[in-house]
């Protein structure tokens, strides 16, 4: 360890953090219960949302069906936009629990719980027990984190692994030992989840932090970087090498298209303004972000972990802000570090260090007294939004109106209760009341997903086809509906744009039978013997109604219609010519 680090740790101001606390079984159990209640409520109660959830679940289902764990397939063609770790975990979940929405979402929810526990253990060793409990509770009750814990994407699994790797690298700097090996294993798995970014974020965070502290000299030996990065490479590289050999064009598609072009070409995918993630974080971390302007770290015990979390969060935010392609979930790896920083500020206000001037004041600073009214005002705002739901342009607000009333009522009541507790100077109980209030509000928020399902999912339509025409061929007109193969357990024919199936379709020897380019090809398939279902928009159905002839509408969801060809002549009846 460097001289600077030794001096900081041996100083009186650092004494509290220099002796890591022992994890408490009660604390861990309470955190797991809280995290599970928030992250796993309603987990299997609603259909898979388009497009991501249905896509990732179907890839795992096809892996389970085919036994091919090397090459991910979507609609039975190669789909290589992401490495396979999440698909493998979901396939394992399907194998254990059966193919269902619950089993599909379970690996993501468990990843979120792992990330919360990693944050607890880091804060426990780097700060104190109070920091650890509060940081874990803040992370679990952050709306963005809680919501993404129930959405099937690679971002939550990536976040959990990046969190483990980043925190482990800091603990290795602080304590030595074997922490670095945990970091390198986590980075290898993170690369297998979403590519090189899984290793880039932890490494860049540590390098910048060491540079700011003038400790880069000797870092390669101190962090055992050569054998460590070799371990990371040994975990991640074999799949990429195998894919490069097996799938022609993979290297160009994945490394050039999905990384370089996505990062630097503004018209490639999801372009947003540079500052896009600032309001995303401000809203996504409510109501904790409302407290940040009132927090002060001046009274806090000096601790290098504070600056480390600030650097790590900033690296993630700046890195993704500089990239051209931006989506809300991308910024998720910054949230655990921000949760630790917010917890640190709250602890500094509520329990000031013994040698600070704030220690002589009652532990009910302005931020704690005002947290109750802030919660109540936030709840009142949610209720107002529910009342004004018909005035919003988006139909989502009206659809989730009952859930908004429930969330608003919970926040108002919880805010009033919290304020009364802080007025009695019961600091720990008051912070606990905030956490419980937010947990109940987030659980109630799960109802919103149930109400919004018809606008974001084609699960009901897909189930109806599976029930009414289980033996029919399915044709999807123009827009690929991701839910169709998952709920019908079969491949579908696609007419028109291939979108994310384009790469795989070019390698598929049977592409001519499953990918068609025009209406004439569709109608030739429609007229062939056997039962056929076409899924298309209502406008397209009205335009081509006469050409379809006799059909039955067997399912309706949103703008989509599923039509089944009505047989004019039974196949068992002889065809006579007059």
374 and 405 belong to one structural domain: yes
Task: Please spell the DSSP secondary structure of 465-530, one letter per residue.
Answer: HHHH-TTSEEEEESS--THHHHHHTS--EEES--GGGHHHHHH-TTHHHHEE-SHHHHHHHHTSSS
Residue where one domain finishes, among candidates 402, 425, 455 = 455
Chain centroid offset of residue 265 CA: 24
Assess if residue 356 is contained within a domain: no
Which two structure tokens, joined as six digits, stand for 401? Answer: 């109106």
Task: Please spell the DSSP secondary structure of 546-560, one letter per residue.
Answer: HHH-SEEEEEEETTE
Quote the pLDDT of residue 548: 92
Quote the pLDDT of residue 261: 59
Quote the pLDDT of residue 265: 56
Quote the pLDDT of residue 269: 54
404 and 495 belong to one structural domain: no
How many CB atoms neighbour CB 453 within 10 A?
19
Quote the pLDDT of residue 408: 95
Encode pLDDT of 22-44 as tens digits: 778 899 999 999 999 999 998 98
Average pLDDT, the chain: 87
Encode pLDDT of 484-525 as tens digits: 999 999 999 999 877 888 888 888 888 888 999 899 999 999
Residue where one domain finishes, among candidates 390, 425, 455 = 455
Quote the pLDDT of residue 465: 95
**Is pLDDT of 397 > 90?**
no
Averaged pLDDT for residues 236-261? 82
Quote the pLDDT of residue 23: 78
Encode pLDDT of 433-445 as tens digits: 999 999 999 999 8
- Cβ contact 290:345 at 8 Å: no
Assess if residue 124 is contained within a domain: no
**Is pLDDT of 2 > 90?**
no
Confidence of residue 360 (pLDDT cuts 50, 70, 90): very low
523 and 465 belong to one structural domain: yes
* Residues in a beta bridge with 532: 473
Averaged pLDDT for residues 71-98? 95
Quote the pLDDT of residue 455: 82
487 and 533 belong to one structural domain: yes
Assess if residue 429 is contained within a domain: yes
Assess if residue 430 is contained within a domain: yes
User: 48 versus 259: which is more confidently predicted?
Assistant: 48
Assess if residue 214 is contained within a domain: no
433: burial class by Cβ within 10 Å (0-12, 13-18, 19+)? Answer: buried
Assess if residue 487 is contained within a domain: yes
484 and 550 belong to one structural domain: yes
Nearest Cα neighbor of 464 from 512, 402, 381, 533 is 533
Q: Domain count of the chain? A: 2
445 and 487 belong to one structural domain: no
* Residues in a beta bridge with 471: none
Assess if residue 532 is contained within a domain: yes
Q: State residue 223 phi and psi, 5-degree precision.
A: -95, 5
Averaged pLDDT for residues 336-361? 76
Residue where one domain finishes, among candidates 408, 423, 455 = 455
- Cβ contact 199:237 at 8 Å: no
514 and 477 belong to one structural domain: yes
User: 452 versus 186: which is more confidently predicted?
Assistant: 186
Confidence of residue 571 (pLDDT cuts 50, 70, 90): very low
pTM: 0.90
Give the residue numbers spanning the domain of 533. 459-565
User: 135 versus 298: which is more confidently predicted?
Assistant: 135
The percentage of residues in the chain with a pLDDT greater than 70, rounded to a whole number, is 89
463 and 554 belong to one structural domain: yes
425 and 471 belong to one structural domain: no
465 and 546 belong to one structural domain: yes
Averaged pLDDT for residues 184-205? 96
Q: Which helix (H) or strand (E) holds 562?
A: strand 560-565
Confidence of residue 333 (pLDDT cuts 50, 70, 90): very high
Quote the pLDDT of residue 267: 54
Assess if residue 125 is contained within a domain: no
472 and 447 belong to one structural domain: no
451 and 468 belong to one structural domain: no
The percentage of residues in the chain with a pLDDT greater than 90, rounded to a whole number, is 64
Quote the pLDDT of residue 9: 39
Nearest Cα neighbor of 343 from 304, 377, 309, 378 is 309
C-alpha to C-alpha distance for 178 and 169, rounded to whole angstroms: 10
**Is pLDDT of 20 > 70?**
no
């Amino acid at each position: 360890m460097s001289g600077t680090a030794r001096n900081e740790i041996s100083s009186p101001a650092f004494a509290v953090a220099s002796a890591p606390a022992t994890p408490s079984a009660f604390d861990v159990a309470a955190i797991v219960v809280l995290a599970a209640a928030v992250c796993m409520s309603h987990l299997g109660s609603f259909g898979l949302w388009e497009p991501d959830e249905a896509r990732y679940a179907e890839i795992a289902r096809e892996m389970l069906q085919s036994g091919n764990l090397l090459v991910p397939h979507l609609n039975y063609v190669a789909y290589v936009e992401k490495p396979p770790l999440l698909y493998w975990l979901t396939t394992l979940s399907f194998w254990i629990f059966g193919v269902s929405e619950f089993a599909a979402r379970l690996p993501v929810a468990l990843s979120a719980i792992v990330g919360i526990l990693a944050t607890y253990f880091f804060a426990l060793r780097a700060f104190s027990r109070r920091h650890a409990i509060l940081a874990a509770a803040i992370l679990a009750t952050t709306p963005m984190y809680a919501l993404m814990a129930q959405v099937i994407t690679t971002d939550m699994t990536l976040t959990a692994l990046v969190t483990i790797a980043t925190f482990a690298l800091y603990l290795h700097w602080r304590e030595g030992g074997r922490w670095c090996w945990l970091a390198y294993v986590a980075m290898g798995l993170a690369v297998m989840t979403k590519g090189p970014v899984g290793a880039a974020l932890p490494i860049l965070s540590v390098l910048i932090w060491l540079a700011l502290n003038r400790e880069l000299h000797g870092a390669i030996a101190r962090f055992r970087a050569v054998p460590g990065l070799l371990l990371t490479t040994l975990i991640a590289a074999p799949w990429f090498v195998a894919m490069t050999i097996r799938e022609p064009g993979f290297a160009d598609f994945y490394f050039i298209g999905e990384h370089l072009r996505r990062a630097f070409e503004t018209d490639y995918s999801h372009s947003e303004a540079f500052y896009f993630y600032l309001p995303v974080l401000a809203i996504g971390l409510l109501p904790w972000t409302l407290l940040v302007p009132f927090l002060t770290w001046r009274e806090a015990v000096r601790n290098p972990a504070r600056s480390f979390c600030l650097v790590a969060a900033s690296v993630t935010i700046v890195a993704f802000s500089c990239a051209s392609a931006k989506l809300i979930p991308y910024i998720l790896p910054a949230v655990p570090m921000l949760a630790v920083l917010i917890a640190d500020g709250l602890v500094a206000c509520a329990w000031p260090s013994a040698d600070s001037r704030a220690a002589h004041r009652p532990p009910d600073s302005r931020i704690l007294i005002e947290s109750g009214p802030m919660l109540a005002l936030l709840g009142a705002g949610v209720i107002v939004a529910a009342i004004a739901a018909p005035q919003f342009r988006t139909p989502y607000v009206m659809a989730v109106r009952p859930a908004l009333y429930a969330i608003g009522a919970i926040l108002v009541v919880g805010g009033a209760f919290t304020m009364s507790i802080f007025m009695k100077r019961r600091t720990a109980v008051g912070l606990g009341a905030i956490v419980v209030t937010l947990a109940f509000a987030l659980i109630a928020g799960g109802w919103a997903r149930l109400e919004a399902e018809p606008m974001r999912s084609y699960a009901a339509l897909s189930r109806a086809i599976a029930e009414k025409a289980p033996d029919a061929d399915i044709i999807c007109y123009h827009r690929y509906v991701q839910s169709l193969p998952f709920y019908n357990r079969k491949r579908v024919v696609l007419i028109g744009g291939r979108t994310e199936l384009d790469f795989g379709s070019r390698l598929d020897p049977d592409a001519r039978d499953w990918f068609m380019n025009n209406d004439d090809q569709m109608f030739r398939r429609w007229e062939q013997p056997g039962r056929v279902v076409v899924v298309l928009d209502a406008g397209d159905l009205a335009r081509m109604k006469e050409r379809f002839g006799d059909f039955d509408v067997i399912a309706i969801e949103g703008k989509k219609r599923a039509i089944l060809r009505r047989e004019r002549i039974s196949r068992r009846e002889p065809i006579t010519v007059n």
